[in-house]
A and B are shown apart, each in its own frame.
Chain A
Amino acid sequence: MFEIISFVVLLGCGYLFGRRAEKKHINDIIEREKTFNSLPVIASRYPPENQYYQQQLVAGNVVVASDYFKSFTAGLINIFGGAVAPFEPLLDRGRREAVLRMKEEASKLNADLIFNIKLETTRIATGRTGAIEVLAYGTALIPGSKPAPSTAEAPRAM
């Protein structure tokens, strides 16, 4: 009896709190994305060549945890196959949050653009609790004047 009650309570908590946290996070992401849309992120490996930029590596990472309800449903999907829908918003939030954190860093550097963005995902919790880490990193281009020529060769962008 105790097992049934604890199962239902955990599932209910996972569903209610998980959904609430998710909704809150997504709304927050949307607002912040609107602010940072003016700082574009591009996947191209080639920086624009019309202007001189200083370059700096910027990164943002986030760890997002699953909840009891999501993990439980995902376990059931493992039997029948199909899209693991409960984890899709989790990864979506993770990616967007990591990119935002990277943009926040670049914005502090007064960058115009982040190019060559890469994303990496790692599962960091095993067993019953699932959590993922998403890391976004790229090269921020910061407008600047060309330094005076020196004998040493200036570092080149990749």
Chain B
Amino acid sequence: MRYENRQAPEGINVTPVHPFKQFAQLLFAAALLVIILVVLLQFFGGWIGKRVPFQYEQALMEQVDISLGSESPPPEMVSYLNGLAQQLSAVMPLPKQMSVNVHYSKEDVFNAFATLGGNLLFYRGLLEQMPNENALAMVMAHEIAHILHRDPMVGLGGGVVSMVSLSMITGQAGFAGSILDKTGFVTGTQFTRHMENEADQAALAALARQYGHVNGADALFEVMRQHTGENKTPDWLERFAATHPLSEDRLDAVSRRAAESGWSLEGDLTPLPARFHDWLKQ
């Protein structure tokens, strides 16, 4: 007697689903989940972050004990930067319980940032490019505005918390995780760009109060645009995925905001201290 295996029907071991349809549904659902999560955490984390007293923020910075800037910065530079910060803080105005402390780094980095506890760090690479005090004051006032708006704390509460929570999802997604991470990052940039715009607005107002005009602010964004240079990324994509608004847009915003608020775009520019470039060489 001969036996024979029957031919098994096809498809019995496979879930009948169109791969592309399933992929599209899953990607849409996962991206939506990430966006909702990041938006919620940015809102609530930021909301909580803003309500943490500034003293706690300072105490936190003291505890972690991170030294900002170079070890032995030129004292004249540090005192000049802090002096400018004091003047701008007075016109912002920064509440009494809040204070800023400016640090200087000799590194050739085109950047300046505000961090927890009212600490600002200015790099030599940026200061070298400053054409006058007004442009420098624009950067300084922008960073002080971040402190005033409690952005470093909001960034910690909203940004960091949402990214950590996001990694719990994306860690599960293996291969697809990197794409979801980027979705979360781009969602987060919508919030950071909002912060940057608000800081620009407050900085221009401070500039107008300090110097009586906003001349020099445009020079800063012009320098920044030249520094960034031309790149091949299309504008719409760059606008959508960048943490900061484009220098081009910020430049346009200067004249728009000046017109809206009645600030003069003309006025005498204040030169940088005579020995400013010598301090940079130290």
The chain B residues found within 8 Å of chain A, CB to CB, are 2-7, 10, 13-15, 17, 19-20, 22-23, 26-27, 29-30, 33, 169, 172-177, 179, 182, 232-234, 237
Contacts and interface: CB of A to CB of B under 8 A. Distances in A.
Nearest to A34: B7
B122 to A, nearest CB: 32
A144 interface: no
Nearest to A73: B23
A40 B19 contact: no
A86 B30 contact: no
Interface stretch (A57-65, A75-83, A146-154): A75-83
Task: Report the interface size class on chain A.
Answer: 35 or more
B234 A37 contact: no
Given A85-B15, A85-B17, A113-B3, A1 B175 contact: no
A85 B175 contact: no
B232 A1 contact: yes
B174 A83 contact: no
B6 A79 contact: no
A75 B175 CA distance: 6
B5 A73 contact: no
B175 A40 contact: no
Contact of B4 (A37, A68, A79, A89): A37
B33 to A, nearest CB: 7
A131 B217 CA distance: 58
Nearest to B34: A79
A43 B216 CA distance: 85
A74 B27 CA distance: 11
Given A38-B2, A75-B174, A80 B15 contact: no
Contact of A72 (B5, B10, B175, B237): B175
A69 interface: yes
